Amino acid sequence: MKLSVFLFKSARKVLGTLQQWVDRCYTSLLFRGNGVVYSSFRTSGHPFVSVARTGKLVIGQHFAMNNGLQGNPIGCSQPCCLFVDSGCELIIGTNVGISQTALISHCSLIIGDFVKIGGGTCVYTTDFHSLNPEVRSTVNDMKQRKSAPVIIKDHAFIGAHCIILKGVTIGKNAIVGAGSVVTKSIPDNEIWAGNPAKFIRNI
């Protein structure tokens, strides 16, 4: 190995170790400042975290999170986004791993144990705006938006760049193919993919 390559990789390893420590400290500060209930976690980079005073964010043990390209270089540069609105909850089970993922709780968002969520995936519990064009052009737009809970059950695997919409339940052991838009609930032990996502086969 050339000396220049050796020196570069050695320096990067040292700086990477220091950056991991900084990321963990800053993420712990974000969690505490937002009243997050958590225990053990691993992070590359730091997320965006916003929990309303009457919101609740609970994270189980052995939580793993990649923010940006450093931890999961698959083309998604954004950090994870953990947002919980007033009176809402985001519950994340044990041994959950997410990468560059947006978890947006304007209702109830429950993630089970041993769930893997791929890079760039977004999970939304609301339409964000009214579907009525007349209402959407008024000050009542946000007040009349529709919201519904999302549940992702144990051992589910969500591929990269998926969008999970409000009111959906992802079944136990289910797999969602990369790039899918999930508008309907997926039963246990099934593979779905596409836009909109449709049944592919049983596991």
Q: How far is CA 4 from the centre of its chain?
A: 38
The string over 91-110, giving b where at least 16 C-beta atoms fall within 10 Å of a residue's C-beta and e elsewhere, is: bbbbbbbbbbbbbbbbbbbb
Give the residue from 47, 117, 128 showing the smallest Cα distance to 85. Answer: 128
Active site residue 106: no
Local structure of residue 140 (DSSP, 8 states): T
Of 46, 62, 129, 155, which residue is the catalytic one?
129
Give the residue from 114, 128, 73, 120 showing the smallest Cα distance to 101. Answer: 120
Local structure of residue 37 (DSSP, 8 states): B
Residue 86 is encoded by which pair of tokens?
A: 């007033």
Q: List the catalytic residues.
A: 129
